[in-house]
Amino acid sequence: MPPQHGPRRARIVFSDSAAKQLENITSEADFHALDRALVVISVDPKAGAPIPGNTAGPRLRQYTDDVEAVRILYFVTALRTVVVVAYIEL
């Protein structure tokens, strides 16, 4: 019997502002916390709550991990294959 694979993950990309925020992270603990949160939203892009607002552009979502104290604002492409991280808060 062939091995079973886990759920397909979406690819994570960062907006320019989120990439700058990522460059400023120096703590290994913060990297670990961010990595855990990114894995969650890559496996399940609907994990975050929708942010109310205009429906003209991509629908922003917010994922908050209270244990790791991480907040990520992101949107998902139409085919749910790419998650674009717009903002990181640690």
pLDDT at 2 over 90: no
Helices (H), the chain: 16-23, 28-43
Confidence of residue 67 (pLDDT cuts 50, 70, 90): confident
Give ∠ CA 30-38-25 in degrees, rounded to 5: 30
Distance from chain centroid for Cα 4: 25
> What domains, with CATH codes, occur in the chain?
11-89 (3.30.2310.20)
What would the pLDDT profile of 30-66 be if each residue is shown by its tens digit? 999 999 999 999 999 999 999 988 777 778 999 999 8
d(CA 14, CA 35): 13
Give ∠ CA 44-47-53 in degrees, rounded to 5: 125
Q: What is the mean pLDDT of residues 66-76?
A: 91
